[in-house]
DNA sequence: ACTACATATGAACAGTTGTTCAAATGTTCA
DNA sequence: TGAACATTTGAACAACTGTTCATATGTAGT
C-alpha cells in the first residue's frame, strides 16, 4: 500500500505534487478536462477565467505532468495526462465529502 | 470513479484539502505518523523540527481531519485519522515515482 | 506580407503561508 | 500550591503564489 521509508527527496517531490492540486483554479481546470479535452480559450470561457491566468496554470499542470498538450491547427488542446490524476482527485473528494 | 459535476464549493474544499498535503513538513509528519503514533516532542525530535512549528502544523492537519489527537498523561499522542490519508499519499507517491 | 486568431510569457503587485520567538495553558507529582 | 514537563497559541516577518496587464510568439488563410 505505502512504502516504508521514502527518501526526504521523494517526500519533497510528493509535497510539490500536492501543491499543484492545492489551488481551486487548477482543480477546476482538471475537472473540466476530465469531462473533455479542450483548448485554452474554451477552457477559460467555460470557467470564467482570463486567458492569461488559464495559460499560466496550464503551464504549472504541464510541468507536473498532470495534463498533456497537443496542437490542432491554431488551437492547443489540453487533456488529462493519466489515470493517477483521476484517482487522486476522486480519493480527495471522498475525504471532503465525509 | 469520479463524480460528474461537483459543485464549485466541493471543488474549493478539495483544493483546500490538497493544500494541506502540499507542504513537505506536513507530508513528513504524516509519513512519520504512518509508521507509528507519537507525541509532539517525539515527532519534533525525529523530524528535526522545532516543537512550535510541529504543533502549528499538527493543528492544520487536525483541522482537515487528517490526524487525530488523544491525551495520554502529559503527552498528546497523534495518529493518522483514517485510510484515505494513506491512499492519497500512496497514489501521489506512485505519480512522482514515474 | 499582412491580418486575425490562439496561446505563451514576463513583470509587478496583493494576498497567503510557514517559521520563529515569546508567552500562555494544561498536566502530573511531590 | 509549586516546580517541571508537554503542548498550544499569538504576533511578526520573510518567502512564496496567483492574478492582471501588456507584450510576444505562433499559426492559418488571403
Confidence class of residue A3 from pLDDT cuts 50, 70 and 90? low
Please determine, for residue A83, whether its predicted confidence score (pLDDT) is greater than 70: yes
- Residue A2: what pLDDT? 73
Please determine, for residue B5, whether its predicted confidence score (pLDDT) is greater than 70: yes
Classify residue B33 by burial, with Cβ atoms within 10 Å: 0-12, 13-18, 19+. Answer: buried
- Residue A98: what pLDDT? 78
pLDDT in tens, A24-82: 999 999 999 999 999 999 999 999 999 999 999 999 999 999 999 999 999 999 999 98
Cα-Cα-Cα-Cα dihedral sign, residues B87, B92, B96, B98: positive
Length of chain A: 98
> Measured between alpha carbons, how far is A42 from A54 in angstroms, rounded to an integer?
10
Q: Within an 8 Å CB–CB cutoff, is residue A94 touching chain B?
A: yes
Q: What is the DSSP letter of A5?
A: S
The residue ranking higher by pLDDT, B4 or A91, is: A91
The C-alpha cell at B21 is 498535503
Q: Within an 8 Å CB–CB cutoff, is residue A72 touching chain B?
A: no
Query: Closest nt to A69 (CA→C1')?
Result: C7
- Residue B4: what pLDDT? 66
Spatial distance from the CA of B59 to the C1' of D8 (Å): 9
What is the arithmetic mean of pLDDT over B42-48?
A: 98
Q: Which of A44, A45, A24 is nearest to B16 (CA)?
A: A24
Contact B15/A21 with Cβ under 8 angstroms? yes
Confidence class of residue B29 from pLDDT cuts 50, 70 and 90? very high
Helix, strand, coil percentages in chain A from 3-state DSSP, rounded to 5: 60, 15, 25
Q: Within an 8 Å CB–CB cutoff, is residue A27 touching chain B?
A: yes
Residues in chain A within 8 Å Cβ distance of B49? none
- Residue B1: what pLDDT? 64
Residue with nearest Cα to nucleotide D23 C1' = A52
Q: Please work out, in degrees rounded to the nearest 5, the angle formed at the alpha carbon of residue B15 by the alpha carbons of B9 and B18.
A: 145
Cβ neighbours, 10 Å, residue A71: 9
Please determine, for residue B64, whether its predicted confidence score (pLDDT) is greater than 90: yes
- Residue B83: what pLDDT? 85
Confidence class of residue B40 from pLDDT cuts 50, 70 and 90? very high
Contact B33/B79 with Cβ under 8 angstroms? yes
Q: Which helix (H) or strand (E) holds B78?
A: strand B75-80
Q: What is the DSSP letter of B48?
A: T
As a dihedral over the C-alpha atoms of residue B79, residue B81, residue B87, residue B93, rounded to 10 degrees, the angle is -40
Amino acid at each position: 500500500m505505502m512504502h516504508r521509508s521514502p527518501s526526504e527527496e521523494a517526500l519533497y517531490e510528493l509535497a510539490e505534487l500536492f501543491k499543484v492540486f492545492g489551488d481551486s483554479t487548477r482543480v477546476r481546470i482538471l475537472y473540466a478536462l476530465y469531462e473533455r479535452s479542450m483548448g485554452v480559450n474554451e477552457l477559460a470561457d467555460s470557467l470564467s477565467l482570463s486567458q492569461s491566468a488559464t495559460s499560466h496554470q496550464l503551464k504549472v499542470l504541464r510541468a507536473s505532468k498532470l495534463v498533456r498538450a497537443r496542437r490542432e491547427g491554431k488551437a492547443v488542446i489540453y487533456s488529462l495526462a493519466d489515470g493517477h490524476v483521476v484517482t487522486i482527485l476522486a480519493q480527495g473528494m471522498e475525504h471532503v465529502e465525509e
